[in-house]
């Protein structure tokens, strides 16, 4: 009696996991999903898949490191692994670490099924039976339905996020331009420090909506021309947690973007808010964003003070290396400062 084929999908994008699950189940596979390495390890203890689909951009652990670990572990050393990522560079690294194949995001489920089926056969599953032959016409039709549903859902989430951004702009004069500037700065700095983070589409939304929680802050505090009192400052600081709660059920932001919204006011030395995280316990996207957010705050006009020059602000960033900011991120800032300054000048000219 033939054993049912099994595939393990390791990816923190839940919508992608469901699309892949549907595709493989149509072809008679059993599908296990894991949204992080801990879940993946639990699945691997309980069952042995015939193939593994591994996202190289997993949160909390380097995907290449985990791939190497799977290759070094006797129980998983021979299992075909297909690496997926939005970066060709990550794909080359994955092939070097032992992945049998690489698919660049976005990909069609038909590409995936066509790639995995021969790998499963080569891995000793046996000859393919009649049910293993892909009915391309039927599968393409189902995939197109799924793709369109996924697109419509993504567009709905994007519209929701855009409405929130407009609501914030209407309350806090200047927020829209600030958000656009820091999004540009943060994207460039991320490319310098950790380009793999840009595989996560939620990151840019997190940059853009980092202050969305200010929607819940009273105007008397938000727009106050002078310095805040201690109690007013505490109330203002609630915007980080409030922003995360506002967007908690929007999958478009449920990954690195949500971490930026909650943690962009944390400090390397542990004296930030809301969770007083320190050093590498602070999400990397938030550590990157903290630098450019402070940079823009210093060089922008605020109700309670005049802006400082770019040179003064950049020197302050360097001075706070290892206290307020991650030293490695400050190093990255110094490496790409000419590009950031160019973006600053372009904004002034706009």
Q: What is the pLDDT of residue 33?
A: 93
Q: 343 CB contacts (<8 Å, ≥6 apart)?
A: 181, 184, 185, 188
The strand pairing partners of 52, in sequence order, are 8, 81
What average pLDDT does the segment 186-214 reach?
A: 90
Whether residue 208 is predicted with pLDDT greater than 60 in this model: the reply is yes
CB contact set of 169 (below 8 Å; sequence gap of 6+):
175, 176
The 10s digit of each residue's pLDDT in 228-258 is: 899 999 999 999 999 998 887 776 677 889 9
pLDDT at position 156 is 65
**CA-to-CA distance for 349 and 13, rounded, in angstroms?**
39
Give all strands (DSSP E) within 48-156, no chain letters.
Answer: 51-55, 81-85, 101-104
pLDDT one-digit tens code per residue, 137-162 = 555 655 665 666 566 666 666 666 66
Q: What percent of the chain has pLDDT over 70?
A: 82
In the predicted structure, residue 317 carries a pLDDT above the cut 50: yes
Provide the pLDDT confidence category of residue 127 given band limits of 50, 70 and 90: very low
Task: Estimate to the nearest angstrom the gap between the alpha carbon of 247 and the chain centroid.
Answer: 15
pLDDT at res. 138? 57
**Percent above pLDDT 90 for the chain:** 44
Rounded (5°) CA angle 172-174-176: 90
- 3-class DSSP state for residue 267? coil
> Taking the CB of residue 174, how many other CB atoms lie within 10 A of it?
12
Model confidence at 214: pLDDT above 70 = yes
Give residue 158's pLDDT: 66
Average pLDDT taken over every residue of the chain: 84
Domain coordinates in residue numbering, the chain: 6-134, 173-349
Question: What does CATH list as the number for 173-349?
Answer: 1.10.3210.10
Q: Give the highest mean pLDDT range of 144-153, 162-171, 176-185.
A: 176-185
pLDDT score of 289 more than 60: yes
- What is the structure's pLDDT at 171? 58
The residue behind tokens 């894991």 is 34
What would the two tokens of residue 204 be?
Answer: 């840019």
Confidence of residue 122 (pLDDT cuts 50, 70, 90): confident
pLDDT surpasses 60 at 105: yes
Q: Which CATH number fits domain 6-134: 3.40.50.2000, 3.30.300.30, 3.40.50.2300, 3.40.50.620?
A: 3.40.50.2300
pTM: 0.59
């Amino acid at each position: 009696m033939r054993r049912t084929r099994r595939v393990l999908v390791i990816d923190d994008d839940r919508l992608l996991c469901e699309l892949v699950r549907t595709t493989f189940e149509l072809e008679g596979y059993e599908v296990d999903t894991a949204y992080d390495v801990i879940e993946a390890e639990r699945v691997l203890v309980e069952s042995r898949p015939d193939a593994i689909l591994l996202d190289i951009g997993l949160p909390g652990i380097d995907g290449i490191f985990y791939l190497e670990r799977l290759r070094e572990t006797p129980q998983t050393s021979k299992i075909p692994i297909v690496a997926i990522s939005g970066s060709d560079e990550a794909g080359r690294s994955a092939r070097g670490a032992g992945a049998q194949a690489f698919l660049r995001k976005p990909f069609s489920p038909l590409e995936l099924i066509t790639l995995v089926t021969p790998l499963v056969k080569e891995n000793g599953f046996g000859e393919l039976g009649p049910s293993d032959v892909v009915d391309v016409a039927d599968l393409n039709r189902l995939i197109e339905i799924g793709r369109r549903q996924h697109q419509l859902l993504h567009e709905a989430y994007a519209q929701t996020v855009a409405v929130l951004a407009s609501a914030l702009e209407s309350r806090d004069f200047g927020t829209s331009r600030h958000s656009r500037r820091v999004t540009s700065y943060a994207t460039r700095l991320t490319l310098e420090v950790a380009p793999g983070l840009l595989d996560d589409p939620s990151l840019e939304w997190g940059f853009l909506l980092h202050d969305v929680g200010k929607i819940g802050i009273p105007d008397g505090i938000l727009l106050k021309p002078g310095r805040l009192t201690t109690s007013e400052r505490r109330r203002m600081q609630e915007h980080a947690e409030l922003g995360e709660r506002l967007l908690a059920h929007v999958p478009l932001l449920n990954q690195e973007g949500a971490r930026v919204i909650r943690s962009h006011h944390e400090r390397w030395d542990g004296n930030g808010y809301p969770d007083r995280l320190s050093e590498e316990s602070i999400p990397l996207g938030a550590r990157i964003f903290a630098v450019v957010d402070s940079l823009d705050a210093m060089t922008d006009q605020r109700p309670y003070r005049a802006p400082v020059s770019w040179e003064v602000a950049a020197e302050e960033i360097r001075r706070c290396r290892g206290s307020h900011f991650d030293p490695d991120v400050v190093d990255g800032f110094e490496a790409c400062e000419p590009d950031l300054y160019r973006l600053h000048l372009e904004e002034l000219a706009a």
